[in-house]
Amino acid sequence: MIGDGRLCYGGDWNPEQWPAEVWAEDIDLMRRAQVNLVTVGVFAWSRLEPTPGRYTFDWLDRVLDLSHDGGIRVALATPTASPPPWFSLAHPDALPVTADGVRLHHGSRDTYCAAAPAYREAARRIAGALADRYAHHPALALWHVHNEYGTSCHCEHTARAFRRWLAHRHGTLDALNDAWTTSFWSQHYTDWAQITTPRATQYLANPGQLLDFRRFWSDTLLAAYTEQRDLLRAANPAVPVTTNHVLGDWVPVDHARWAAEVDLVAIDHYPDAVDGGAEEQTALAADLARGWARHGGTPGWLLMESAPNQIHTAGRMHTKEPGRMLRHSLAHVARGSRGAMFFQWRAPVGGAERFHSALVPHAGPDSRVFREAVELGGLLADLAEVDGPVETSIALARDAGSDWALRHPGMPSPRLDHDTEVAAAHRALWRAGYACDVVVPGDRLDGHRLLVLPALYLVRDATAGWVRDHVAAGGHLLVTYLSGVADEHARVRLGGYPGALRDLLGVRVEEFHPLAADDRLPLTGGGTARLWSETVRLAGARAVSTYVGGVLDGLPAVTRHDRGASTIWYVSTRPDDDTHGRLLTQAARVAGVTPTCPGAPPGVEAVRRRRDRASWLFLLNHTDRPQQVPAAGVDLRTGAPVERVRLDPGGVAVLRETAG
Amino acid sequence: MIGDGRLCYGGDWNPEQWPAEVWAEDIDLMRRAQVNLVTVGVFAWSRLEPTPGRYTFDWLDRVLDLSHDGGIRVALATPTASPPPWFSLAHPDALPVTADGVRLHHGSRDTYCAAAPAYREAARRIAGALADRYAHHPALALWHVHNEYGTSCHCEHTARAFRRWLAHRHGTLDALNDAWTTSFWSQHYTDWAQITTPRATQYLANPGQLLDFRRFWSDTLLAAYTEQRDLLRAANPAVPVTTNHVLGDWVPVDHARWAAEVDLVAIDHYPDAVDGGAEEQTALAADLARGWARHGGTPGWLLMESAPNQIHTAGRMHTKEPGRMLRHSLAHVARGSRGAMFFQWRAPVGGAERFHSALVPHAGPDSRVFREAVELGGLLADLAEVDGPVETSIALARDAGSDWALRHPGMPSPRLDHDTEVAAAHRALWRAGYACDVVVPGDRLDGHRLLVLPALYLVRDATAGWVRDHVAAGGHLLVTYLSGVADEHARVRLGGYPGALRDLLGVRVEEFHPLAADDRLPLTGGGTARLWSETVRLAGARAVSTYVGGVLDGLPAVTRHDRGASTIWYVSTRPDDDTHGRLLTQAARVAGVTPTCPGAPPGVEAVRRRRDRASWLFLLNHTDRPQQVPAAGVDLRTGAPVERVRLDPGGVAVLRETAG
Amino acid sequence: MIGDGRLCYGGDWNPEQWPAEVWAEDIDLMRRAQVNLVTVGVFAWSRLEPTPGRYTFDWLDRVLDLSHDGGIRVALATPTASPPPWFSLAHPDALPVTADGVRLHHGSRDTYCAAAPAYREAARRIAGALADRYAHHPALALWHVHNEYGTSCHCEHTARAFRRWLAHRHGTLDALNDAWTTSFWSQHYTDWAQITTPRATQYLANPGQLLDFRRFWSDTLLAAYTEQRDLLRAANPAVPVTTNHVLGDWVPVDHARWAAEVDLVAIDHYPDAVDGGAEEQTALAADLARGWARHGGTPGWLLMESAPNQIHTAGRMHTKEPGRMLRHSLAHVARGSRGAMFFQWRAPVGGAERFHSALVPHAGPDSRVFREAVELGGLLADLAEVDGPVETSIALARDAGSDWALRHPGMPSPRLDHDTEVAAAHRALWRAGYACDVVVPGDRLDGHRLLVLPALYLVRDATAGWVRDHVAAGGHLLVTYLSGVADEHARVRLGGYPGALRDLLGVRVEEFHPLAADDRLPLTGGGTARLWSETVRLAGARAVSTYVGGVLDGLPAVTRHDRGASTIWYVSTRPDDDTHGRLLTQAARVAGVTPTCPGAPPGVEAVRRRRDRASWLFLLNHTDRPQQVPAAGVDLRTGAPVERVRLDPGGVAVLRETAG
């Protein structure tokens, strides 16, 4: 689509921060590293439109021409993530406002309210001007709208937009009052004008209001995106359009809802774990992106930003060990990314991110990082033939609404959220050697033998039906605690938890027993329960494991319910990681699913891509010891056939396997 | 008074959150559980007055009629703790403002300023309308004004009211300047208009201003209460009026000052400790409530809210163990509560407190919690005959002002406050098997042999006289550190601490030595000192225990001063709990006071009520083992005489004893 | 200068807080303690000008007369650190505003904006009135302008002043845009009016803006000072003028820039460490003050405030052990302080600092503290002859800008700052028995054999030249990590760290490796690295010690570069304290520098003052054991010659040594 058959490789290039003599050196170095795509103009608004309506495109003309001459294609950004100072001075009402009513000022980035008419108008104007000028430039490979939509606002523009959105969603105030349970604490609305955004208030806020505000705001940002996209598409329908999303609990975006609106799902990924956790986070991020593309029917996805070097962890930067950048990049490509892009090409001398890592660091090209960048360019060039979906028979559900709702105040435990549970299940599968597809509830399940629902808190009736259909078709199911408790408005389903899935699971949960942070409750069969436990009453299922000691002594912790060809598991707690892995492995075995590469040693990640009768096996050795893997094929780096793969410490291999 | 001879049993019932078909089921279930009192309408303002001045009382008519038909009496609330959205939209100036100047918005509860004229007028209007309609309804047993007065404000309405209150309290600016020591840091006021509430300021605030602001605000809330009470009383003087208070350091209320203004002291109690601490907190809360009723000359008190199940601790919910709800309820009744009421009857599907526990939980009546509710109803019915005050000869002083002042910034240690010291002394007595009356300084002391003053920081001259009178009358006294240091304006008394009590104690404290959080300083005779120590100079007293090591090595830690028949103890530190218990036991023995039930094993709580020649003994086994107690009488549950009580793990017994 | 040959001794005296009868007792007690200087009027504005323009000087007249009659001289303060309530009511626009936009209110101290015209005008008016009345009073020894300049503001007055300052500093917007790297994140300014103070913003702020705002604000406070000073000087040029500065990372003042504007550098010092740390902090504070006086060409410095007793640590007060006040005072005098002054004379009964310690505590003069105050007065009287600079050959550089810049967000580690590194180096020297001069980069280095640059992050070209000149002249140099990384605008110098000093050090640092808080990385030769490590490439230097294990295994940690007569050390990490001390000792030895008193045992601090051929040795025993020191001379307390000094636990001695 965007490519020329090659995997994309490059990063954010900011020539506007450098004198022109550096540009030529940049192009030379890019060619040395086999860079083929650069993102340009992300934060260049104030250099493109220094005063309202006056454009200074000449430097960008030269940048695009220079790129084209150098054989490097451009992802051209609209610069709307950072309005220029003149905009803020002229439109103080378009500056964002916190829930406390503090108006944020210029001086960083993203100092706008996406619901402010003046901002939206200015954003359309600069996007339109770029479209007019560059839509047919031969270097242009991709439009990159905005950057990491991720801010929120509580100003009056936002409140008005929220009320409009609510009227559209709920139709009547009666429906809204019912959805939000406003009969609690005298919050019954009798006029739309009474509704505000969830500003700072005296005590706990209304969960329905909080949930709808997040949905509304994701839709508001999406509208800000689509109106730019439409302008760009109109100028040249042949050029694909996307926007890059970051992941994280602070990001007010339901990524899945955006997937159908982009021509390519793009994510930025910055793991914040130092040890093995960074690799596990990387695998999950890539699986999420692939899942969104699948959900949206989008023809692929791309890692748009990642860090050439440091990992930010607990506020500090941890320098990536040699080879780790390459392995992270390959982990994304193995899971379908159409390349590996970085923030950023060259480290700046100033600005807030002066110590963000770069392919060309402060020390210059005579550096470990740049040498590894050259190596990565070579490897990516060798992988052009790899194609097709990741091979797996396991689906893992992730749902933005469930994550938002579990983070609401007033939950039985403040330590629980959906995304952490998704990550725990994903990590357990990853360590056990299983690949999985991350799906959005309601997505088509075709080859998936096992469906895993980790703390899927919000289950609307249609979702419950989707789960029943999977089981009715012979699929297997594993559900963890806090799933199915609430409906789409975060209202609790009555009669015993987990209301929406109770019958299917063959259990009835009478009470929750949240655990303290350091509590460990033993389970029969080995292992321990953490964070959560429940009074589970059997209603068709049988106990696989029970709690040992305490008030739940002898009561079921994990249950199994066999229905026809299907086996349905319920896990009423968060088991420790090993136990979690054993449970998922057991469920996979019962479902007839095997690991990707059964003989791969621990710490060696294996991912298989398959297209028709061809398949490719990615092997990443995350350990600091040499490893051997019983896999055969043609090594794409050497072109040589191998019968058994020997991996250096931290080494990688990609095999073209004999057609399956 | 409110009862019909029976103990009250029931909780908050919110029919406005449910369809009418649930109401009938509710009445049926209440009858099964022997519920006889329900609190109705607490947060129903927006359902009673959906637009200004238009009332929709029909549903409430039906609710009261239904209750009456079911034999269940009603505590009818005025709904003023949560104004409807229309009120906030119409009167933004009546929304509360934080010390930082942030105006809080609608969307939770309690979003009003109690000093705002518009709020007060609207509150009187709805209270008056309820009085007009329901003051003679046969179901009405009690008026329940508002709910948990507990918010504060820093708006201009509040500042104006503060100035009026100060002018009334101090008379002249000279007096105020003197009381607040405004000569420090150039704060001398020359015009009342210069005074504000203690808004956010540059550095440490003025302690006198902070203290008066808390007193003023408590009085402001009280005025908001009394004007509603007067309307309700005028409509039918036969119906008692109260308001329910919550406890906690964030509650801006001097509960003792309110006691004379209610017809029944009502508290809500939610312990936040998980282990034995919850039982100790429960005993203290009940003793506080009984003490306020005694102070106010109020004919009794009632536990108006408690949790049927979960304890909130460190943000998480801890599920109460089986039997614990019953024991907590009985601990209150043993200390004089006229029943046991709960928040709430039925768990809601939505709203901020959707996971607050209920007598009818989400799982419905087929649940442990509801079964325990039925058991509790039966037990309470058996206890109707119990009457009379709690038997004790120890008085423990608690004073809101001392607690407020010790929490001011700029104190020698941030880890100290009066309420924690009161709780420490109360806990030590509880563990040693002694009951006590909590008194307000100045209260009549008749049968009290031992008076305990824990960190009674503010001691006005009259209070010092009250203490001297107790000693002069042969009473015994135990005083702990930080008592008597300051006068009623929180000004330090000079010449050596503890200024107001120095002569009585026979010591002169020259310097404070606050300890670090983890410091432990050994004491002679065993035990350790924590948090605090002092340079104590003997001036009549003798040392009972001295500090070991450090700069205070060999100096007195605990002193004893014998004056006539009285013994006066001074404890210049916070001893560890065991040592604290030994000291109080020693003081009690010297005073001739014995425990309530001398042979009761540790973990079995014993409380005796006595009326004339009859007495009843409550025994609560808080351990998980069976226990035997050497007590004889008639078991009120079985009607059978017992010579020795055998308690199941977690079990309880109430004996009618042979008249004393 | 201010003295009469004697060392100053006294403190803040606040007669306005007390009835007149106490004043006479104060004078008597001062005479008993040999107090000879008191600071008067610091926070007396509201008592001197109770309404605008009406002065009530009569009480101050009496206070100065009384002092004069008692033989006690006065440091008369202008009271501008705390405007009266009437000022705040009349000029709400002159109240300070936080970065969040919260306007702070009256009720503490320092509630003004130093950029507000109304404040500046009122401050000049009261200062002028005091100058008119008291400039020739015989008791007047010193003008004490304001108190602890230390507040900041983000109001519109401040923003306007910031823009004016920036225009003056940068000349053109182009220069500002370049200095601040506004090409990053679209912050390019096209009109001065677009610039604000660094108000709360969406994400990371611009480092150039943050740095210039701190410089601007220090200059703004300085202008507020100098305009008062000029008024006072004009009234009587013979009376010296100063202002007292506090130390700490929250103080928005570049102390070095103020030194040339005062007639005497004055500091307030309150150590916040409990154990030996308090002594190390005291030594550093005194060395800083002496360094600023040296930098400004000021004829001396004075400890203007210190605590007679408690040390504030972690929010709590720690009572100073007996003798510690005296040792702290002597540590300052040993380093050149012209006396020892205290906050405060008499402890107040109220106000925010009611528990701040005093020479006359709440307990009155019959107290340990006052007895020690009398002892100190006697000792100071014995030391009148001591004179001359501290003897040392080591210079340690401290630079406010480096500290400010290292605290910016977005640095590789949040745990690093310049002042902590200065303190670590100073502590290591102190423990090893070496005195040092703290210098400002660019200061004259005459007798300094060894120059130490600890994390000197900002190095302008001139500073790099100053370092090169020191080496060229045969001086020795020790540089620690994060030095020389950035230019004066906090822009990173490219090509490898530490850009400005790379060639001199003979190393090229390719990458930073910040460590986690609890990481410990072994070094060859013993010891461990903490907080930070680097990929050091040798380019002329040789490795003295290398990292052991991890990705830096075998790479240089500490290097040595011999150039001509000079030895240049680079320390690429923070070594543990012992290793730090060994490294500095080694560098000192190579430079030919010896400790002050080679035979002094650990824990005994030795400082030598020397004037021409005379010298005095201060010996402070900070241990709790008796100590012997091989030093000879005349003991100034006894007048007796000693051959070997015996120090009691916590004891001190000052010797007049045989002329050198």
Superfamily (CATH H level) for C604-657: Golgi alpha-mannosidase II (2.60.40.1180)
pLDDT surpasses 70 at A77: yes
Task: From C15, C251, C112, C228, select the one nearest C243 (Cα to Cα).
Answer: C228
Search chain A and give the residue with CA nearest C495: A363
Residue A64 binned pLDDT confidence (cut-offs 50, 70, 90): very high
C191 contact residues in A (CB cutoff 8 A): 85-86, 89
Reported as type and span, the H/E element at residue A38 is: strand A37-40
pLDDT surpasses 70 at B7: yes
C-beta neighbour count of A562 within 10 angstroms: 13
Strands B265-269 and A337-342 come out as unpaired
| Residue B550 distance to chain C (closest CA, Å) | 9
φ, ψ dihedrals at C253, nearest 5°: -135, 135
A111 reaches C (C-beta below 8 A):
yes
**pLDDT tens, C555-573?**
999 999 999 999 999 999 9
Binding positions of A for Zn(2+)? 113, 153, 155
Supply the pTM of this predicted model.
0.97
Q: What angle do CA C580, C280, C266 make, to 5 degrees?
A: 130
pLDDT surpasses 80 at C658: no
Both tokens of C63, joined, read 């206070």
Question: What pLDDT score does B140 carry?
Answer: 98
E strands of C487-555, at which residues?
Answer: 507-514, 521-522, 528-530, 532-538, 542-546
Whether residue B350 and residue A512 make contact (CB cut-off 8 A), yes or no, is no
Task: From A398, A144, A460, select the one nearest A256 (Cα to Cα).
Answer: A398
| Residue B325 distance to chain A (closest CA, Å) | 15
Mean pLDDT in residue range A518-538: 97
C353 contact residues in B (CB cutoff 8 A): 184, 204, 410
How far is C301 from C291, CA to CA, in rounded Å?
10
Both tokens of A395, joined, read 């689906």
pLDDT surpasses 60 at A376: yes
How far is A364 from A349, CA to CA, in rounded Å?
12
Q: Enumerate the β-bridge partners of residue A608.
A: A617
B43 contact residues in A (CB cutoff 8 A): 184-186
Q: Enumerate the β-bridge partners of residue A9.
A: A340
B361 contact residues in A (CB cutoff 8 A): 510-511
Residue A2 binned pLDDT confidence (cut-offs 50, 70, 90): low
Whether residue A511 and residue B361 make contact (CB cut-off 8 A), yes or no, is yes
- The answer to whether B323 and B371 are in contact (CB under 8 A) is no
**pLDDT tens, A537-552?**
999 999 999 999 999 9
Binding positions of A for substrate? 109, 147
Annotated ligand binding at C8? The verdict is no
Minimum-distance CB partner of B180 among C103, C350, C364? C350
B414 reaches C (C-beta below 8 A):
yes
pLDDT surpasses 60 at B98: yes
Minimum-distance CB partner of A186 among B45, B104, B369? B45
Which of A279, A305, A372, A534 is the catalytic position? Answer: A305
Search chain A and give the residue with CA nearest B319: A513
- The answer to whether A33 and A308 are in contact (CB under 8 A) is no
pLDDT surpasses 80 at C1: no
Search chain A and give the residue with CA nearest C537: A367
Annotated ligand binding at B153? The verdict is yes
Identity of the amino acid at B404: W
A4 or A325, which is more confident:
A325
For chain A, state the CA radius of gyration. 26
- The answer to whether B488 and B464 are in contact (CB under 8 A) is no
Question: What pLDDT score does A144 carry?
Answer: 98
Chain C interface test: which of B154, B185, B210 (most C C-beta within 10 Å): B185
Search chain B and give the residue with CA nearest A495: B363
φ, ψ dihedrals at C563, nearest 5°: -130, 110
- The answer to whether A90 and A49 are in contact (CB under 8 A) is no
**pLDDT tens, C103-150?**
999 999 999 999 999 999 999 999 999 999 999 999 999 999 999 999
Question: What pLDDT score does B299 carry?
Answer: 85
Whether residue B496 and residue C353 make contact (CB cut-off 8 A), yes or no, is no
Minimum-distance CB partner of A362 among C191, C208, C492? C492
Q: Could you confirm whether domain A8-153+218-382 is CATH 3.20.20.80?
A: yes
Residue A299 binned pLDDT confidence (cut-offs 50, 70, 90): confident
B509 reaches C (C-beta below 8 A):
yes
Chain C interface test: which of A12, A13, A274, A317 (most C C-beta within 10 Å): A317
Question: What pLDDT score does C660 carry?
Answer: 45
Question: What pLDDT score does A3 carry?
Answer: 59
Residue B412 binned pLDDT confidence (cut-offs 50, 70, 90): very high
Mean pLDDT in residue range C382-399: 97
C-beta neighbour count of C329 within 10 angstroms: 26
Three-state secondary structure call for residue B1: coil
Search chain B and give the residue with CA nearest C46: B186
Minimum-distance CB partner of A196 among B107, B314, B350? B107
By percentage, how much of chain A surpasses pLDDT 70?
99
Annotated ligand binding at B109? The verdict is yes
pLDDT surpasses 90 at A315: no
B98 contact residues in C (CB cutoff 8 A): none
How far is A85 from A77, CA to CA, in rounded Å?
19
| Residue B482 distance to chain C (closest CA, Å) | 13
Task: Say if residue A498 is preceded by a cis peptide, omega within 30 of 0.
Answer: yes
C-beta neighbour count of A380 within 10 angstroms: 22
In terms of C-beta density within 10 A (0-12 exposed, 13-18 middle, 19 or more buried), how is residue A24 classed?
exposed
CATH architecture, domain defined by B8-84+114-152+215-382: Alpha-Beta Barrel (3.20)
Mean pLDDT in residue range B255-281: 96
Minimum-distance CB partner of A492 among B44, B110, B362? B362
Minimum-distance CB partner of A206 among B45, B89, B352? B352
How far is C331 from A287, CA to CA, in rounded Å?
64
Residue B314 binned pLDDT confidence (cut-offs 50, 70, 90): confident
Looking at residue A184, what DSSP letter applies?
G
Domain boundaries, chain C: 269-383, 394-590, 604-657
pLDDT surpasses 90 at B358: yes
Secondary-structure percent of chain B, ordered helix, strand, coil, rounded to 5? 35, 25, 45
**pLDDT tens, B554-600?**
999 999 999 999 999 999 999 999 999 999 999 999 999 999 999 99
| Intrachain domains B8-84+114-152+215-382 and B604-657 with the same fold | no
φ, ψ dihedrals at B406, nearest 5°: -70, -15
Whether residue C352 and residue B185 make contact (CB cut-off 8 A), yes or no, is yes
Q: Enumerate the β-bridge partners of residue C653.
A: C619
Within 13 Å and on the Cβ side, how many CA atoms surround C501?
35
ipTM of the complex: 0.96
Question: What pLDDT score does A660 carry?
Answer: 45
Annotated ligand binding at B597? The verdict is no
pLDDT surpasses 70 at B660: no
CATH architecture, domain defined by C394-590: 3-Layer(aba) Sandwich (3.40)
Secondary-structure percent of chain A, ordered helix, strand, coil, rounded to 5? 35, 20, 45
How far is B427 from B431, CA to CA, in rounded Å?
6
C41 reaches B (C-beta below 8 A):
no
φ, ψ dihedrals at C384, nearest 5°: -55, -30
Mean pLDDT in residue range B456-481: 98
Looking at residue B533, what DSSP letter applies?
-
Q: What angle do CA A393, A395, A400 make, to 5 degrees?
A: 165
The size of the A-B interface in CB pairs under 8 A is: 185
**pLDDT tens, A213-225?**
999 999 999 999 9
C206 reaches A (C-beta below 8 A):
yes
B348 contact residues in A (CB cutoff 8 A): 181, 184, 492
**pLDDT tens, C509-550?**
999 999 999 999 999 999 999 999 999 999 999 999 999 999
pLDDT surpasses 60 at C659: no
φ, ψ dihedrals at B67, nearest 5°: -60, -50
Query: Which positions ≥6 away from C314 have C-beta within 8 Å?
Result: B516, C272
φ, ψ dihedrals at A443, nearest 5°: -60, 150
Three-state secondary structure call for residue C54: strand
